[in-house]
Amino acid sequence: MPALNLDTDQDRIAERVNEPETLFVACLCAQWCGTCREYRDAFDKLADRHPEICFAWIDIETHADRFDDLDVENFPTVLIEDSVTTRFFGTVLPQAAIVERMLSDSTALPGLTGAPKLRPALSVV
The string of pLDDT tens digits covering residues 17-59 is 998 888 999 999 988 999 999 999 999 999 999 999 999 999 9
Helix (H, G, I), strand (E, B) or coil at 97: helix
**Per-residue pLDDT band at 86 (split at 50, 70, 90):** confident
For the domain made up of 4-113, give the CATH fold: Glutaredoxin (3.40.30)
pLDDT of residue 5: 93
Predicted pLDDT of residue 70: 77
| Residue 11 backbone phi and psi in degrees, to 5 | -65, -40
- Identity of the residue numbered 43: F
What pLDDT is recorded for position 114?
A: 59
The domains of the chain are located at 4-113
**Tens digit of each residue's pLDDT (9 = 90 or more) over 103-117:** 887 656 666 565 667
**What residues have CB less than 8 Å from 77, skipping those under 6 apart?**
27, 28, 29, 89, 90, 91, 92
